[in-house]
Structure 1
Amino acid sequence: MSVFGLTAFDLILILVISLSCLYGTFRGFFSEILSLLTWIFAFYATFNLDIILYPYLFSFIETEIVRLWVLRLSITVVALLTGNIVKRLLVRMVKTNFPGNVFFGLGFGLLRALVLIAFIIMILQDTAIYDQPWIQESIFLDQAENISDFFKFILLKNI
């Protein structure tokens, strides 16, 4: 089923971007920059610590790919929780009321959406869902893959 030529996956991507931008607008710049840094930290930790921790954790899961993604999900959750605690402490210490707070909050909401899209694409690429027509026929699939490749290159190759 498609709406205006958009697949369900296109609508999901549009929803992720719209909600993230709206959320960022209401939260403001300082909170959003700390959130973005938390997501980048989670992304970096997930795809660098998975290799280190793989031999030691979740050995009861026999399927290799499931074990890897359970580990990655666990690392992501721990990194996001840790980053969120630090962010809340910093936001309480610093009050931010400057004119660009809303505008820059919107911009950082957009960046967060791009990071989320990169996560979605990387997860889907390791599953059979990725080959489904509602994803492969997506208008925005090429752009979403480019976003994912960009974050992989920047965070995994240069840091």
Structure 2
Amino acid sequence: MGDMTGFDYAVIAILAASVLLGAWRGMVSEVMSLGAWVIAFLVAREWGEQVGTQLLAPYLTVTFWQIAGGWILLFVASILAVSIFRALIRKTIHAIGLGFFDRTLGMAFGAARGALLILLLVAIGGMTHLPEETWWKAARLAPLTEQGVSYIKPWLPDDLAKHIAFADTINQMVPQLAPQLLLIK
């Protein structure tokens, strides 16, 4: 097991930035933000294919891109709708003096959001040739993130999930890597 790669540093940076953002924005805002991601995912999962194939068919001829486009449109629209409501609630929380407590608990929710974002990015990477690259294969955190993606694949539409592929050795590598990642010898 070698040194960390850019993949590892990116995962750590995303997680750290998300935790710091959670502390800055606070628990209520983070809970609503995380809820927005869940709502956006469920809305996109329920209606993304229908919206994509009906709305984007005149512009995109490949079904995969129609579905992906429908998912993206609904996901972004859902996030924006919840964000407006979240801003109003956040102002109220800070006006009544619960800012410090709110921000402290926000770090945990920032960690959850960061983990979801990492899984999303790794899933997208799994649809490309990136998992075959040396820097990806050598990354210490790649097997764990790939395993996480394998847990969420059943929730994705079959047309998208079938395009996500990683090395076949992932299930063998995770038990071997876990102690090293935790710095246990």
Cα-Cα RMSD: 2.5
Letter in 1 for 2:12: I
Say how many residue pairs are matched. Answer: 153
User: Aligned-pair distance for 1:57?
Assistant: 2.1
Q: Please list, as runs of the form range in 1=range in 2, the aligned pairs for 1:30-49 lying within 5 A after superposition.
A: 30-49=28-47
SS in 2 for 1:54: helix
Higher mean C-alpha deviation, range 19-28 or range 41-50:
41-50
Q: Do 1:117 and 1:147's aligned partners in 2 also have CA atoms closer than 8 Å?
A: no
Do the aligned partners of 1:40 and 1:115 also contact (CA within 8 Å) in 2? no
Q: 1:67 to 1:52 in 2, by over 3 A?
A: closer
1:54 aligned residue: 52
Q: Which has the larger radius of gyration?
A: 2
Counterparts of 1:94-109 in structure 2 under 5 Å?
94-95=93-94, 97=98, 100-109=101-110
Deviations 1:5-37 (A, max 9, x none): 112211111111010001111111111111111
Instruction: Provide TM-score, normalisation by structure 2.
Output: 0.70
**Deviation beyond 4 Å, 4+ runs, structure 1:** 151-156
The question of 1:85 aligning with 2:84 is answered: yes
Q: CA deviation at 1:153?
A: 5.5
Question: How far apart are residue 76 of structure 1 and its match?
Answer: 1.7
Contact 1:7/1:138 (8 A) holds in 2: yes
Q: Which runs of 5+ in 2 are unaligned?
A: 158-185
Instruction: Describe the shift of the 1:127–1:49 C-alpha distance in structure 2 as closer, same or farther (beyond 3 A).
Output: farther
Distance in 2, matches of 1:54 and 1:79, equals: 15
Q: How do residues 1-159 of structure 1 correspond to structure 2 at under 5 angstroms?
A: 5-59=3-57, 60-95=59-94, 97=98, 100-152=101-153
Tell me: CA distance 1:91–1:100, structure 2 relative to 1, closer, same or farther (3 Å): closer
Bigger drift between 146-155 and 64-73 goes to 146-155
Structure 1, 41-50 or 90-99: larger mean CA deviation: 90-99
Tell me whether 31-40 or 91-100 shows the greater mean CA deviation: 91-100
Identity over aligned pairs, percent: 22
By relative contact order (CA 8 Å, sep 6+), the higher-ranking structure is 1
The residue type paired with residue 133 of structure 1 is T
Gaps spanning 5+ residues in structure 1: where?
none
